[in-house]
Amino acid sequence: MLGQELQRKGDTAGAVKQWRKAIEIRPQYNEALYSLARLLKKSNPEEAKNLEARFETLQAQEHITDRASTLGNFALASADAHDWPQAISQLKEALNVCGNCSALPVLHKDLGLIYCRAGDYNNGRSELLEAQKLAPKDADITQALKALDTLQQTQ
């Protein structure tokens, strides 16, 4: 916001400095990348082109993550209706769409939990272990794996 305000007041150098600082702190800050690219188009077209490419890449990644998360939400709705095959199918599709997006740990965790709710503990454990590799500090995953261990010991 400071970069925008400085640019509005005509302080281009100050705006560039603030947007560079914002990107240094948060390299994936779309607004700063876009604004800096626009401002540098005339004075440094090569850097502007690189910033635009970074911006477009981030936009594409966000689109993928949003699509995967939407599919994950549909799967959770199917699970709430106890339609396990549909929920599992939707989560597998979400994982396919996601690739290596930021939603990956949550999708694996949700798939693991849904497998377990459907009674498929082996696939459930496998997905939960995959989620744990991706998000080792997630207490829900740890708790679910402990519950699975307890359940299998009593059987």
Q: Report which residue type is found at 129.
A: L
**Domain ranges (residues) in the chain:** 2-43, 71-154
Place of tokens 């740990």: 105
Q: Which residues contact 8 (CB under 8 A, 6 or more apart)?
A: none
Q: Which residues contact 47 (CB under 8 A, 6 or more apart)?
A: 40
Q: Report which residue type is found at 61.
A: Q
**What pLDDT, on the 0 to 100 scale, is given for residue 28?**
84
Residues of the chain with pLDDT under 50: none
User: 71-154 in CATH: which number?
Assistant: 1.25.40.10
Question: What count of Cα atoms within 13 Å lies in the side-chain half-sphere of residue 20?
Answer: 10
**What pLDDT, on the 0 to 100 scale, is given for residue 104?**
96
For residue range 115-150, what is the model confidence (pLDDT) as tens digits? 999 999 999 999 999 999 999 999 999 999 999 999
**What pLDDT, on the 0 to 100 scale, is given for residue 142?**
96
Q: For residues 142, 144, 149 and 154, what is the CA-based torsion angle, rounded to 10 degrees?
A: 150
